[in-house]
Amino acid sequence: MVQTERGRVATVFLNDPERRNPLSPEMVGGLLEALEALEADPGVRVVVLTGKGRAFSAGADLAFLEKVTELGAEENYRHSLSLMRLFHRLYTFPKPTVAAVNGPAVAGGAGLALASDLVVMDEEAQMGFTEVRIGFVAALVSVLLTRAVGEKVAKDLLLTGRLLGAEEAKALGLVNRLAAPGKALEEARALAEEVAANAPTSLRLTKELLLALPGMGLEEGFRLAALANAWVRETGDLKEGIRAFFERRKPRF
């Protein structure tokens, strides 16, 4: 269900193309395992996430969805928790992540893109939060969506369940860059290499700050930022960066 290619920029493929890469229990488990392994690999600086075939992820697994109303509350809750863990794991992953949206990203599939740090989207792809169309609720995804676009835009997207084209998705801030048809993965890898050239310590600390600051007041946020500013001055990455600047060469992080 999940295929991983290692390197400084690692690529994780959702690998169920015939079914448009749904978030089946097996897919969710495979993604969690892949992220665990990539975090532990010191050679991996950035992770790219994409789908095999013509879709990024169509969201719900139809085979699972067909029986979901017949499952007990306990089993449904277990499934919801595993999906929650995946979104949370990806959103808080200590290394930068880039989603290459190579095709439709719908419902939970759109949630995977939102949970990534950066998103590159094929200009012919679509994204949508369509749960209300079948009587579902985009509950977990709404946590990510409101952080990304704010309450009013989230209400529009969640209550209508409409599909967005790539241009609108970018205009709303859901997507960072658009790619020519068939080039999303190539563009995402190029962006990932750009990020991977930066200091690993700085990247990790920046991600930690960005996770914490939205929930803080002004004074608390500034105090945390001051601590981060002071702490990073003691790191080897900064020493190498300053040395490289004065020696007029690229730093070797």
SS3 of 94, please? coil
- Over the stretch 86-96, which tens digit does the pLDDT of each residue have? 999 999 999 99
The answer to whether the Cα torsion of 104, 172, 142, 13 is positive or negative is positive
User: Which tokens sit at 125?
Assistant: 């792809």
List helix spans (H) across 13-116. Answer: 25-40, 62-67, 73-91, 108-115
What are the residues whose beta carbons fall under 8 Å from the beta carbon of 217, sequence distance 6 or more?
none
User: Which tokens sit at 192?
Assistant: 């990932």
User: Which tokens sit at 155?
Assistant: 């209400």
Tell me the residue length of the chain.
253
In this predicted structure, what is the pLDDT of residue 70? 74
Contact 92, 44 (CB under 8 A): no
Residue 181 to residues 20, 122, 166: CA-CA distances in angstroms?
18, 6, 11
Mean local confidence (pLDDT), 187-199: 98
- Of 83, 108, 112, the closest CA to residue 98 belongs to 112
Neighbours of 215 (CB within 10 A): 8
In this predicted structure, what is the pLDDT of residue 102? 98
Mean local confidence (pLDDT), 153-172: 98
Residue 128 to residues 56, 133, 195: CA-CA distances in angstroms?
12, 11, 27
The answer to whether the Cα torsion of 66, 69, 74, 79 is positive or negative is positive
Q: Is there a catalytic annotation at residue 131?
A: yes
Contact 32, 12 (CB under 8 A): no
SS3 of 253, please? coil
- Over the stretch 12-53, which tens digit does the pLDDT of each residue have? 999 999 999 999 999 999 999 999 999 999 999 999 999 999
pTM listed for this prediction: 0.94
- Of 119, 129, 106, the closest CA to residue 50 belongs to 119
Contact 241, 199 (CB under 8 A): yes
Query: Does an H or E element contain 121, and which?
Result: strand 118-122
- Over the stretch 82-131, which tens digit does the pLDDT of each residue have? 999 999 999 999 999 999 999 999 999 999 999 999 999 999 999 999 99
User: Which tokens sit at 228?
Assistant: 């981060």
What are the residues whose beta carbons fall under 8 Å from the beta carbon of 81, sequence distance 6 or more?
none
Residue 16 to residues 19, 56, 57: CA-CA distances in angstroms?
6, 10, 9
- Over the stretch 50-92, which tens digit does the pLDDT of each residue have? 999 999 999 877 777 777 777 777 777 888 899 999 999 999 9
Specify the amino acid at residue 166.
A
Query: Of 18, 39, 66, 131, which one is the catalytic site residue?
Result: 131
Work out whether strand 105-106 and strand 2-5 pair parallel, antiparallel, or are unpaired. unpaired
Q: Percent of the chain scored above 70 by pLDDT?
A: 100
Cα separation, 12 vs 181, in Å, equals 20
